[in-house]
Amino acid sequence: MKSHKLTTLLLAGSLLVATGCQKDLLDKTNPNGPSTAQFWKTSDDAVKGVYACYSGLQQYAVYGHSWQFMAARSDESYSQSPFVELANFTRFITPDNNFFISSFAWNDYYRTIFRTNQALTNIPAITMDAGLKARLLAEARFIRAISYFDLAYFFGRVPLVTTESTVGLRAKQGTQAEVEAQVIADLLAAIPDLPLARAYSGPDRGRASKGAAQTLLARVYMHQKKYSEASALFTTIIGSNQYALTDSYLDNFTEANENNSESIFEIQYTASVLDVGQGQDNASASEAYDRPNFFGPPGVTYADVQPRRWLLTAYTDSTVNFASGSTTKHLIDPRRDISIISVLNPDRFYGKTFTEWGWNPNQQYWRKYLNDRTRTTAENFTSGINYRLMRYADVLLMQAEALTELGQSAAALPLVNLVRQRPSVNLAPLTGTYAQDGLRQLIRTERAREFAGEGTRWYDILRWGLMDTQAGIDELKARDTDFTNFRLGVSKLLPIPQRDIDIDPGVTQNPGY
């Protein structure tokens, strides 16, 4: 009997101790953060949700890195990276449709789109200030538009995802025109609710503004050759009195003077304390700019991408001009040495001259966005310089381009001269009258100098149709032998990552891949 009492005790005791009889044993909630059902309740949540959209643009494979490499396929840049597959990518040799530069970019654009779709789906139900709500939704639309804009012109026919992703969702692949239409629709919806640039102040500076959305929309129209629609938008932007060229050209590429009067839209970065690279989504992740680590001279950067030699000579201006505050004549466009490191450039880079570094005098390297003026050590993943995606000089020159195409050369010329004559550049103004094609070529040269190394060039040669004809390819090939391997009707677009084609049989590959 004694032992049976013990048994009972033991049984009861052990069951209690060992098994706890916890009713909710199987109900576990994630201690690391809220579920989506718990989130999206307050105005603060909406603000954070939209910051996440902006963060998408900052990613490694968007403007941080991949975008820069995709744009570097243009005739102003080339790669001599010993990483042969990477260099081949800029030579239009892409045997692997999953090559990381383009497939990571594809991924990161869609990560951004997923974030914007979440914001656009969930913010409307939040009880909050109506004005702020409308603006946040417009900002999300703007960011979605940027993403589809790049996807449309890099990849062409891409799946259109406009609702919040779930695991089972499959999207229809749009034509390039349908993707452009999506960009236009988002921008048209966003423009009324976006404030003017100068309405933002303090920490809000740099957010999507009316002018930014209008500029992007005008870029789409330019690609579509709808010059009058584009020109009308440029007129609005110029007339909004929100923007002015900076006196110093250099101010557009340094950490100082970010979000300045010339800035229409920038991807914001900040120098992070640690060199952790390739921003992830965690508290300690770098919020710094990756590009300087890859675009620059060897030893201090990976030197993966370099300017073509012709660009150096393009800065030799036939018009006599004067350095600012000086009467000394000089024949070299001052923008050359801000854009490019070469043996011709007398500056010190990271504390040493070109010769002191022992760099090859036959080679030249990108200088824009480098921290060579503020650092003497190698570049790494801690650069804080914002990437200027759209600046006012671009609006002025595109308006000049649109007007030229519309046959209004006389109206175009003063806009070009504004860019040529900013104080730090101070080239002689263009005068006289030009035939349409002559002015067209002048503007193109001006753009090459003004935007060298900024990635704009790829969109320029695309818009100008140079990649649509053999004559155009021959012109590009003369400047950049990489175009030898350019396949008409194929190489203008990147391959859609094979991965998605394998997973979703509804997605088809671009022709020729």
State the binding string over 25-44 for other proteins (x if CB under 8 A, else -).
Answer: xxxxxxxxxxxxxxx-----
Separation between Cα atoms, residue 270 and residue 224, nearest integer Å: 35
Binding mask 449-488 for other proteins (x = CB under 8 A): --------------------------------x--xx---
How open is the CA angle 404-409-411, to the nearest 5 degrees? Answer: 105
Q: Distance between CA 201 and CA 111 in Å, rounded?
A: 29
The answer to whether 323 touches 331, Cβ cutoff 8 Å, is no
Nearer to other proteins among residue 58 and residue 248 (C-beta) = 58
| Coil vs helix vs strand at 263 | strand
Task: Select from 241, 282, 326, 433 the one that contacts other proteins (CB under 8 A).
Answer: 282
Residue 45 CB: number of other CB atoms within 10 A? 18
Q: Are the C-beta atoms of residues 70 and 494 closer than 8 Å to each other?
A: yes
Least Cβ distance, residue 417 to other proteins (angstroms): 31
C-beta of 35: minimal distance to other proteins in Å? 5
* The pair of three-digit structure tokens given for residue 37, joined into one six-digit string: 């059902």
Q: Closer CB to other proteins, residue 38 or residue 228?
A: 38
Nearer of residues 234 and 392 to other proteins, judged by Cβ: 392
Ranges within 76-95 binding other proteins (CB under 8 A): 80-84, 87-88, 91, 93, 95
Using CB under 8 A, which of 192, 225, 275, 474 touches other proteins? 275
275 vs 347, beta carbon nearer other proteins: 275
Residue environment code for 191-221, b if the CB has 16+ CB neighbours within 10 A, otherwise e: bebbbebeebeeeebbbbbbbbbbbbbbbbb
User: Is 53 among the residues that bind other proteins (CB under 8 A)?
Assistant: yes
Per CB under 8 A, does 15 bind other proteins?
yes
In sequence order, what E strands does 356-406 have? 365-366, 387-391
By CB under 8 A, residue 328 contacts other proteins:
no
Query: If binding is defined by CB under 8 A, does position 320 make contact with other proteins?
Result: no
Within 284-303, which residues bind other proteins (CB under 8 A)? Answer: 284-285, 287, 293, 298-303
Nearest residue to 290 via CA among 116, 107, 105, 144: 105
Of residues 348-407, those binding other proteins (CB under 8 A): 360, 362-363, 378-380, 384
SS (H, E, C) 448-461: HHHCCCCCHHHHHH
Nearer to other proteins, 283 or 435 (CB): 283
> Which one, 57 or 400, has the nearer CB to other proteins?
57
Q: Is 256 in the site for other proteins (CB under 8 A)?
A: no
Q: Is 494 in the site for other proteins (CB under 8 A)?
A: no
How many residues are there in the chain? 513
C-alpha–C-alpha distance, residues 285 and 276, integer Å: 7
In 291-366, at which residue ranges do the beta strands (DSSP E only) sit?
306-307, 316-322, 329-332, 340-341, 348-349, 352-353, 365-366
Q: Which of 129, 468, 474, 502 binds other proteins (CB under 8 A)?
A: 502
Q: Could you tell me the smallest distance in angstroms from the CB atom of residue 402 to other proteins?
A: 30
Closest distance between other proteins and the C-beta of residue 113, in Å? 6
Selected binder of other proteins within 205, 226, 308, 348 (CB under 8 A): 205
- Site residues for other proteins, 93-132, by CB under 8 A, read 93, 95-98, 103, 106-107, 110-115, 117-118
Residue 421's nearest CA partner among 231, 240, 249 is 249
Three-state secondary structure string covering 179-208: HHHHHHHHHHHHHHHCCCHHHCCHHHCCCC
Minimum distance from residue 138 beta carbon to other proteins (Å): 17
Q: Are 142 and 212 in contact (CB under 8 A)?
A: yes
We find the least distance from the C-beta atom of residue 398 to other proteins, in angstroms, to be 25
